[in-house]
Structure 1
């Protein structure tokens, strides 16, 4: 008897779903994923494993033998959306396989006649085995390459580190091998990702800077984007990391989630650093790469917030002027120390968020206006509905139109800008 899915996890997950699924010789797979780049990357590699074993990707769950959904549970609103979407898929698709962090909160209650769950901690074995050698059958669904599972932090508000467990780094050889596979499949924007890329290697006697150097030594034309890194671990390897960033193949892009500009709030969150340390990281990066894109995350309405702490966050934003600000309302998550905490009144949270976005809009308009008339070298990274998205060396987005192809290298003149992007002419 031919069994399409040879992966042990997948066989276990489907052991009680329609026995005839084991007899399918060309399984049709529908796929969608949500949440952070790490979750999307893991889920996409999982699906590529299914395709490698003989599956076919389809764009309609009603045509699929199995629908795979990668989930997120970072806030309650997202969790509710995930549950709704899984219910919709279970009505359209014969079988549904749920991946990602939602399984931590609802794994035991989600499973039903045609729904099965793989929890993130079960997924950890992928980081020392199956994940390493997945062939890239469908590069269009890939968001990046996971480099480590779990993290070293213990933030009081965060369910992700509870869901994913202790730090587990993949070997640099396996990561570089997968980078090579992505390049061979035609991808030229390589993304490495995790809950905290700066934590990479602490458990295997290496670090993120060494990994970047190993990747950029590949003698091929590509650009590397490094994913989110927490301030504490970034601070510890700062100068070595900056040296690695000097390579021409590395986008000068820093995603450093500070969450608050106030030390009292950071202490309440158990973030394990002072805002001055985070500020030093940003300052050093900007000294070396003045035009770099800096992205950060802010939690609005943390339960210990007050007018003074909000003011300190405004000062942080005014000082460092992040190009990207992701604002998330504080949402107590199950199993975390903050689960019993009360949220702040929504009017206060909305006002806090509104002021941050007004500040951001004002300085970004001024910052992007300075690019008008400049010639930038860019690489085309994405096709939008009626244009192309390109990136300069600093990962600043540039919208262009014209007869171009994905991953073309171009010189463009900046003629205008939007709220967070430039508009270029070839």
Structure 2
């Protein structure tokens, strides 16, 4: 990990600044929109627009990079993000905010694709797993730290929009001044949804539901906090609790997933996250219970993204994993667009508790479907499963494909070591580890 930090620290620093800007703008809009009198439904459309832009960019950005290169795409999209952030307090209208969020979602996805391709290019087969871990940690820390900026005094109403704009602008410096030219970006051909569903119905259904859950956390948590009457000083800790839980639970759950039937773990995590949502709904008036509920929901639900990718890969040949992951990313993005819309409607009908009602229903549906799938086919042998790799729902197609490639390389290396050990008459990797 230290070697990765030493060689990639400018890129990781730039990504930390980008995540600070992105994490702040999402929560800030949730708070300011409620203060401006926007309804839950209007705010849900605003928040959903980000994921629509993100999904579009995941398809378009590779072609942009091939036409004009990494540096130009990165600089152009980053500049658009910086400008769009300054327009939100100028045009305090839901339609204008929807358009701005589409632009920001599109641009952030493009920036992620470009930066992550640089990170992949600077990594080797030996340290690629460590680079992915460092990148994930930086992403989560950026979002968590950004929540604390909500309490910065803003008498003019513009300062908190200027801060993320500045953070995004200065993030270019360490990245653009340190990177070297990268090879052309090659996007992976996607599986059709029909093919993907045939391989793993749980992977497809689970990723759609997971997209809804994550978008509700990332887009609507601040809206819920504001409408439920939390003080401004309480909102940052509530929104950050989701991501703190995700950061802490990611690797322990990954370790367990490599040693058990992943469907059991998916069902258990979704069920307990659903129970935590019910706790938040029933005891939402108690701030500390609310923090606990957010921590558990984030910690148990966010790793489901990586778990579902790993589970789907268990039924694929190595050469199909990257294309399947790209398809799962599209399914997840579709669910992310729908998530805030459904949450906003639930909050309009049931009030603020509708936020947790929707989360509990979706998570329990995922748990139930995982249990149902356990009755439809046998689980693969633990020895035949592919390694878990931690990936966040905020990841671009580059990180998804790189993580899949790293898992393939790891599995192939272990298989080769096992074969060589058996030829030499020594205990293999699996025998040594039990």
TM-score between both structures, scaled by the size of structure 1: 0.25
- Higher strand proportion: 1
Q: Which has the higher contact order (CA 8 A, sep 6+)?
A: 2
TM-score between both structures, scaled by the size of structure 2: 0.25
- Higher helix proportion: 2
